[in-house]
Amino acid sequence: EAGVVQSPRYKIIEKKQPVAFWCNPISGHNTLYWYLQNLGQGPELLIRYENEEAVDDSQLPKDRFSAERLKGVDSTLKIQPAELGDSAVYLCASSFSLAGTTDTQYFGPGTRLTVL
Amino acid sequence: GENVEQHPSTLSVQEGDSAVIKCTYSDSASNYFPWYKQELGKRPQLIIDIRSNVGEKKDQRIAVTLNKTAKHFSLHITETQPEDSAVYFCAATQEGAGGTSYGKLTFGQGTILTVHP
């Protein structure tokens, strides 16, 4: 089966510019996650969707970050305006989760963002 | 919230030796513990996981042990090979109905494993 797809793979922008990342989860997966991974660190959850509902966005810096998952499939993560400290890898993951269970989370290849 | 500590941060072994990576967690409600392998520039990939109703799980050269009382779990790789070289992450989460912590993986800081031929 096709894995989680993310684009772009790399993005270089100047600070204060907007940027958007796109994720297509594995077909049939109802839960989608966006993680931030700084160099040398483990991924940190930014937001989790169950279908089209954001059920956990407590770690998302809402002053500059936004996300959407229209129709409960693809998702977009946006940063506006970007800051130097936003340079990191943004990982998308998906799983098929039923109430009361945690299924394996499958990760995409990530988007490496560099803010100059 | 959950906090996961992982040690060591780097581990260097000779091919054929065993490697052990240890993690501790803080939230006694956590009951699902996956391990991910991430090669340079690639996506994290699940290699093994364990739930709190078992104390040990094995898959070929990889095993994971869990001590719920002490709140720690370990990854054991036997007969290491150069292709095992990667960054390994442990994680913890709570399975169960409801709550924002459900499904939220908290990762350790990672262990860079190098297997020398």
Would the pLDDT of B102 be above 80? no
pLDDT tens string B12-61: 999 999 999 999 999 998 989 999 999 998 999 999 999 888 899 999 99
Give whole-number Cα distances, B95 to A16, A48, A77, B35, B103, in Å: 39, 15, 26, 16, 6
The per-residue b/e assignment along B71-85, b for 16 or more CB within 10 angstroms, e otherwise, is bbbbbbbeebeeebb
Q: What is the per-residue pLDDT for A97?
A: 78
pLDDT tens digits, one per residue of A39-66: 989 999 999 998 899 988 888 999 999 9
Query: Is A107 at the interface with chain B, CB within 8 A?
Result: yes
- Please check whether residue B89 touches A, CB under 8 A: yes
Q: What is the mean pLDDT of residues B85-112?
A: 83
DSSP state letters, B44-85: -EEEEEEETT-SEEEETTEEEEEETTTTEEEEEE-S--GGG-
Nearest to B32 among A4, A44, A102 (CB): A102
Tell me whether residues B109 and A105 touch, CB distance under 8 A: no
- Residues A6-29 have a mean pLDDT of 96
Reported as a pLDDT band with limits 50, 70 and 90, residue B97 is: low
pLDDT one-digit tens code per residue, B57-95:
999 999 999 999 999 999 999 999 999 999 999 999 887
- Cα A79 to Cα A77: distance, rounded to the nearest angstrom: 7
- The neighbouring-strand residues paired with B63 are B58, B76
